[in-house]
Amino acid sequence: MIGIGLSATATAAANMSPIAWLSTARSLASGNGHGGAGGPCYDLVNTARSVCRGPRGLSRSSIATSPHAARAEVGTELTFEIADHAELALQVAPASTAGAIDAEELRVTLDGRPLPADEVAVDHGGRVHIVRSGPGRLEIRYRATLQRAPSETRGPGVAETLVARRQSRYCPSDALESFVPMELGWLPEGPGRGRAVGAWVNRRLRYELGSSGPLDTAIDTLLAGRGVCRDFAHLTIALCRALGVPARLVSVYAPGLSPMDFHAVAEVVAAERWEIVDATGLAPRSSLVRIATGRDAADTAFATTISGSAELLASNVFASIDGLLPDDDHQSVVLLA
């Protein structure tokens, strides 16, 4: 079996009932999930937060060059405590653009009783699952096997480029208009500018678990000089926008990330195409599987509380590809389906 923790997940799934195998465009009924291990507890208060863990930088000695690996296995287990009631929007399924789904399972349960989940299609191929829960322990288990699609070569549209130039909740690029000319004005214009910004962020920030909060913006990260993956991505995006480079955030499954978790990277316009920039250097970009795409973490969080309150007790994420992980110097051009 391929995937971190997949054998245990598959064994548990075999003993579960009901099991819902989903298509990418229909409502689903599934078991109530939220299993997972590790991590501190925090309240989801309709603030977008993606927690990414792992050492800063990827050891090149641990990555072997290999042909493009098309097949990926991804998934997550999440556990929430619901005090009264809650309506959650989950973004854990690969985007419809990420590839062809071979097998997919979503199980949602509340104190062991199955709950339904409704799937909604959103921008950029995103897939949101809406879960409505009463009080108790809410558990979500999701897994999928997919044949990864070829890299996206479609050029950015006018509307999405305009949105990707504007300041947003976590990327207030307008506040950096005086800072950027002094610090980054020397960067040559051209298709490599976004990658150069990512390299600058990599040198400027220290990757440190627990160093930021769910309300921190790119400005907070710049002043602190440290953060986790979403902070690296937010600062990269804000700086690119201040330089006139359209940029947005992508949440992904990241085979090769260690310890495993959801990951966040930037996507910038270069040579009339969307290019991936990961300032953390934590995982090979060509192995990533797109989940959600948006202005910043407010659009791409794996769980958002629409109403009520939910406390995340535990989470577990797994992601793998067939064969060896590809090498990545984080300087070459990488596009993501």
pLDDT at 304: 97
pLDDT at 43: 27
Residues 88 and 191 in one domain: no
Place of tokens 């992980």: 325
Token code pair at residue 116 = 């339904």
Residues 190 and 290 in one domain: yes
Q: Tell me how far apart the alpha carbons of residues 257 and 50 are, in angstroms, rounded to a whole number.
A: 14
Beta carbons of 302 and 262 less than 8 angstroms apart: yes
Confirm whether 289 is domain-assigned.
yes
Nearest to 65 by CA among 335, 242, 323, 293: 323
Distance (Å) of CA 103 to CA 21, 23, 36, 114: 7, 9, 21, 20
Residues 226 and 276 in one domain: yes
Confirm whether 184 is domain-assigned.
yes
- Output the domain CATH number for residue 255: 3.10.620.30
Nearest to 299 by CA among 75, 89, 120: 89
Per-residue confidence of the chain (337 residues) as pLDDT tens digits? 222 222 223 323 333 322 222 322 222 222 223 233 233 222 222 223 233 333 344 333 332 333 455 899 999 999 999 999 999 999 999 999 999 999 999 999 999 999 999 999 999 999 999 999 999 999 999 999 999 988 866 789 999 999 999 999 999 999 999 999 999 999 999 999 999 999 999 999 999 988 999 999 999 999 999 999 999 999 999 999 999 999 999 999 999 998 899 999 999 999 999 999 999 999 999 999 999 999 999 999 999 999 999 999 999 999 999 999 999 999 999 999 9
Domain limits for position 100? 6-150+308-317
Please state the domain count of the chain. Answer: 2
Confirm whether 326 is domain-assigned.
no
Residues 162 and 292 in one domain: yes
pLDDT at 69: 53
Residues 109 and 235 in one domain: no
User: What is the CA 52 to chain-centroid distance, rounded?
Assistant: 9
Confirm whether 242 is domain-assigned.
yes
Confirm whether 87 is domain-assigned.
yes
Q: Tell me how far apart the alpha carbons of residues 299 and 219 are, in angstroms, rounded to a whole number.
A: 19
Other Cβ atoms closer than 10 A to 192: 16
Q: Tell me how far apart the alpha carbons of residues 61 and 7 are, in angstroms, rounded to a whole number.
A: 27
Confirm whether 179 is domain-assigned.
yes
Token code pair at residue 236 = 């990269």
What single string gives the DSSP state of each residue in 244-262? T--EEEEEEE-TT-SS---
Q: What single-letter amino acid sits at 81?
A: E
pLDDT at 151: 80
Evaluate the omega torsion of the peptide bond into residue 259 and state whether it is cis, within 30 degrees of 0: yes
Beta carbons of 157 and 124 less than 8 angstroms apart: no
Beta carbons of 210 and 227 less than 8 angstroms apart: no
Residues 203 and 281 in one domain: yes
Confirm whether 280 is domain-assigned.
yes
Sign of the C-alpha dihedral, residues 293, 299, 304, 308? negative
Exposed, middle or buried, 161 (CB in 10 Å: 0-12/13-18/19+)? middle
Residues 312 and 280 in one domain: no
Residues 281 and 164 in one domain: yes
Separate counts of helices (H) and strands (E) for the chain: 7, 16
Length of the chain in residues, anyone?
A: 337
Residues 128 and 162 in one domain: no
Confirm whether 330 is domain-assigned.
no
Q: What single-letter amino acid sits at 86?
A: A
Q: What angle do CA 265, 183, 196 make, to 5 degrees?
A: 40
Residues 44 and 101 in one domain: yes
Residues 19 and 145 in one domain: yes
Other Cβ atoms closer than 10 A to 140: 30
Token code pair at residue 252 = 């992904």
pLDDT at 19: 25
